[in-house]
Structure formats: structure tokens, C-alpha cells
């Protein structure tokens, strides 16, 4: 059996490994802005509980299932508390990261982990929504819209219970603006860095291009040269025939 000192040493070793893994995760992702959910924990649970009770009362009048839902309310509140405490939403230089660990409807069956990475170039807008019941408890919903072909709102990422949605939206839009400015600057610098291409031609060709800048002039010059060559050949043939006839006469 191990002594108490060995148990303390093992505990310290485990805590050191856990803290080391957290440091590695923090180094891998450079966080520009991190949203908070702690301030809205109580209001979020109250809002969700009120919504649950209203649905339960309606179902009691309809089929009587709402009675079981009312009995399930304490478990529902426990799941909601674990849900909002596990939420993490932060902005990195290239994406929006959303992580949550949500217990299943029966907590002793485990939990569902969800991790979503949304690339910033694919973000069209950050929509802040608040319904009537949400306004009573000061709860906001954050919806991240995607660019491209419009899809139904249910396909967008929806997050409830964020403490300061306007600050997060402002941080995302500022980062998108900076990325677009950087892309424009790179395009301008690339255009300026491209060297001017100059055609290297021989002196005779350059002289000919200087004299006849139009393509039609060059074609006309070639035709004239061909005609001159033909005239010289005809002249040579006439001289040869004249020489032969003079020899026959002699």
C-alpha cells in the first residue's frame, strides 16, 4: 500500500499534466476575444424554466403529458446549469470557436460534446435576437449567418445566454474588416512588385517595327520584296536568252 506522501505526489502530478494540456491548447489557438456566459447564468435558467413550465401547462390541457414534464423540471434546471457553465465562445484570427458540453436528458447516461469552428471568410453577419419572453429576463440569442446561398435560419449557429452580444459582434466585424484590408493591401503590393516585361528584339526587327508600326505595313513590305525578287529572276532569264541568240547568229 502507498503512503500519504505518494498520494499527494500523484495528485500534484495529475494537476500538473492537466495544467500543461490547458497551456498547450491556449498556445494552439490565439484568442482575440472571449465571450462570457457566467453573468447570465441565473437569468438564462429562469428563462428556460419559464418556457418549460408554459409548455408543460399547455400539454397538461392537451394530453396530460405536461404533468411528467413538471416533475422533470428539477432535472431540467440541472442540465441547463451544466450546459451554460460549459459554454465557450471565442474569436481567433481565422475562425469563431464554439464549445459546449451538454448532458443528455437523463444525466447518468453521460454528456454530449459539441465543438464548432466557423471560418471568418464564411461569416456574413452576426445577428442579435431577443424575443418577448427573453426580454423579460434580459436574455439574448446570437445567430451566425453564413455567406453564399441562403439557407434556413435553423442551419445557422445559434447561441443563447451570452452576456454581452454587442461586444462580440463588434469584435467579429472588426476582425473581418481587418482581414479584408489586409487582402486588398496584398493585392496592391503584388501588382506593384510585378516587373515590367520588355520584349527583346533584334536591331533589324526593331528598326523595321519603328519604320512600320502598323501590321499592314509589314505585310506590304514583304510583298514588295517578293515582287522585287521575281523581277530580278525574269531579268536574268531575259539576259540569258539574249546571250544565246547572239551566239547562234555568230
pLDDT in tens, 201-212: 444 444 344 444
pLDDT in tens, 13-61: 344 434 444 444 444 568 899 999 999 999 999 999 999 999 998 888 7
pLDDT in tens, 104-138: 877 677 788 889 899 998 888 899 999 889 999 99
Which residue, among 170, 145, 171, 142, has the nearest Cα to 158 in the 3D structure?
A: 142
Higher pLDDT, 96 or 106: 96
The span from the CA of 38 to the CA of 48, in Å, is 16
Distance of CA 190 to CAs 182, 187, 193, Å?
12, 5, 5
11 assigned to some structural domain: no
66 assigned to some structural domain: yes
240 assigned to some structural domain: no
Domain count for the chain:
1
- Residue 64: is its pLDDT beyond 90? no
| 142 CB burial (10 A radius; 0-12, 13-18, 19+) | buried
Outline where the chain has alpha helix (H): 4-28, 41-62, 66-71, 73-86, 132-137, 165-193, 203-211, 215-249
213 assigned to some structural domain: no
Q: What is the pTM of this model?
A: 0.61
Q: Which of 9-23, 107-121, 163-177, 222-236 has the lowest mean pLDDT?
A: 9-23
Average pLDDT value for the chain: 75
Apex CA 51: angle with CA 49 and CA 53, to 5°?
70
Which residue, among 23, 43, 63, has the nearest Cα to 160 in the 3D structure?
A: 43
The span from the CA of 62 to the CA of 6, in Å, is 62
Q: What is the CATH number of the domain that holds 146?
A: 2.30.29.30
Largest CA distance in the chain: 142
- Residue 226: is its pLDDT beyond 80? no
Cell output for 87: 459554454
Provide the residue range defining the domain that includes 70: 28-191
Instruction: State CA 30 to chain mean position distance.
Output: 16
211 assigned to some structural domain: no
- Residue 153: is its pLDDT beyond 90? no
Average pLDDT (179-193) is 77
- Residue 72: is its pLDDT beyond 80? yes
Average pLDDT (159-166) is 91
Which residue, among 55, 105, 98, 66, has the nearest Cα to 82 in the 3D structure?
A: 105
233 assigned to some structural domain: no
- Residue 89: is its pLDDT beyond 60? yes
132 assigned to some structural domain: yes
pLDDT at 167: 93
pLDDT at 193: 62
Determine contact, residues 74/49, Cβ cutoff 8 Å: no
Share of the chain above pLDDT 90, in %: 30
Gyration radius from the chain CA atoms: 41
Determine contact, residues 115/157, Cβ cutoff 8 Å: no
88 assigned to some structural domain: yes
Amino acid at each position: 500500500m502507498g503512503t500519504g506522501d505518494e498520494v499527494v505526489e500523484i495528485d500534484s502530478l495529475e494537476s500538473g499534466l492537466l495544467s500543461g494540456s490547458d497551456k498547450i491548447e491556449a498556445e494552439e489557438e490565439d484568442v482575440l476575444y472571449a465571450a462570457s456566459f457566467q453573468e447570465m447564468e441565473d437569468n438564462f435558467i429562469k428563462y428556460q424554466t419559464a418556457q418549460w413550465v408554459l409548455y408543460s401547462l399547455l400539454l397538461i390541457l392537451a394530453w396530460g403529458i405536461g404533468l411528467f414534464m413538471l416533475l422533470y423540471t428539477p432535472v431540467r434546471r440541472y442540465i441547463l446549469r451544466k450546459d451554460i457553465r460549459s459554454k465557450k465562445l471565442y474569436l481567433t484570427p481565422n475562425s469563431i470557436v464554439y464549445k459546449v458540453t451538454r448532458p443528455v436528458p437523463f444525466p447518468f447516461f453521460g454528456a454530449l460534446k459539441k465543438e464548432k469552428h466557423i471560418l471568418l471568410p464564411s461569416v456574413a453577419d452576426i445577428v442579435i435576437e431577443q424575443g418577448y419572453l427573453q426580454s423579460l429576463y434580459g436574455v439574448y440569442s446570437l445567430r451566425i449567418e453564413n455567406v453564399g446561398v441562403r439557407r434556413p435560419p435553423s442551419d445557422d449557429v445559434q447561441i443563447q445566454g451570452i452576456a454581452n452580444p454587442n461586444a462580440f459582434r463588434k469584435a467579429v466585424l472588426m476582425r473581418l474588416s481587418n482581414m479584408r484590408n489586409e487582402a486588398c493591401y496584398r493585392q496592391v503590393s503584388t501588382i506593384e512588385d510585378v516587373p515590367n516585361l520588355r520584349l527583346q528584339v533584334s536591331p533589324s526587327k526593331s528598326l523595321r517595327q519603328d519604320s512600320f508600326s502598323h501590321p499592314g505595313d509589314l505585310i506590304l513590305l514583304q510583298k514588295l520584296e517578293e515582287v522585287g525578287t521575281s523581277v530580278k529572276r525574269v531579268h536574268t532569264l531575259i539576259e540569258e536568252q539574249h546571250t544565246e541568240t547572239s551566239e547562234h547568229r555568230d
